[in-house]
Amino acid sequence: MTRRSGTFSYTQAEMALELEEAAAASHGEERLDLLAHAAKHWAEDDEHARALTLFTEVIESRREYPELDWALPAYAYSLFAVGRTEEAWAAVDAAEAHARARHSSAAHQRLADYLDSAGQLERAERNYTAALDLLLDGGDREPAVTRHPRETSPVARIRIDRRRLREQLGLPRDEHDLAAERELAAEQPASRRTLRDRLRGMRSTT
């Protein structure tokens, strides 16, 4: 564990090890949820074999504990990474069904992020679109959340991520892409002003 700027900063591996230790002292659904979180951190640390060892027990318990379906996107990500493609797509199908059943833009976005990281751009774009539909059209029971204090809504970020994928896929621009371009253009002058102010402050101290 490292310490930076007066706060503790954990690596993915350190978080995974702590969660495994907590799981060893737990039982039932709580234990499985801790194992799933540990596996997620191993997956994000590219330790996919270790992640899949933990995921196996979690996924086998899905029927008894359907709440564990939140872990399916990270499970699919590790399966893609080790070349178990058929199993990975089955996990993606199950994750999409979970997101639809819960009317959850958060679940669609989480799946899209992992699919993007796995290089599965078409399916990622589809899930970003599903997340936007829920966020904008109502009926969203588990909304995607903001990721930093300046972000007032996740809509702009999802649109920008989706636009990047659509450009890579060679798809024509649609209304979401045009909105993303407007949002990016609006951010640029503010960024230039920030840089200009910073340079002006540096000059004033010399």
| Amino acid 205: pLDDT | 43
Instruction: Looking at the structure, tell me whether residues 77 and 110 fall in a common domain.
Output: no
Q: What share of the chain is helix, strand, coil (3-state, %, to 5)?
A: 75, 5, 25
Q: Is the pLDDT of residue 82 over 70?
A: yes
| Amino acid 204: pLDDT | 43
pLDDT tens-digit profile of 104-133? 999 999 999 999 999 999 999 999 999 999
Residue 8 within a domain? yes
Distance of CA 46 to the CA centre of its chain: 15
Instruction: Looking at the structure, tell me whether residues 11 and 89 fall in a common domain.
Output: yes
76 lies in which domain range?
Answer: 1-102
Residue 6 within a domain? yes
Instruction: Looking at the structure, tell me whether residues 64 and 86 fall in a common domain.
Output: yes
The span from the CA of 27 to the CA of 29, in Å, is: 7
Q: What angle do CA 9, 11, 16 make, to 5 degrees?
A: 120
Q: Is the pLDDT of residue 41 over 60?
A: yes
Residue 91 within a domain? yes
Question: What is the number of structural domains in the chain?
Answer: 2
CATH code assigned at 173? 1.25.40
Instruction: Looking at the structure, tell me whether residues 58 and 93 fall in a common domain.
Output: yes
User: Which whole number is the average pLDDT over 171-197?
Assistant: 74
| Amino acid 188: pLDDT | 62
28 Cβ contact list (under 8 Å, min separation 6): none
The span from the CA of 68 to the CA of 61, in Å, is: 8
pLDDT tens-digit profile of 43-61? 999 999 999 999 999 999 9
Instruction: Looking at the structure, tell me whether residues 25 and 50 fall in a common domain.
Output: yes
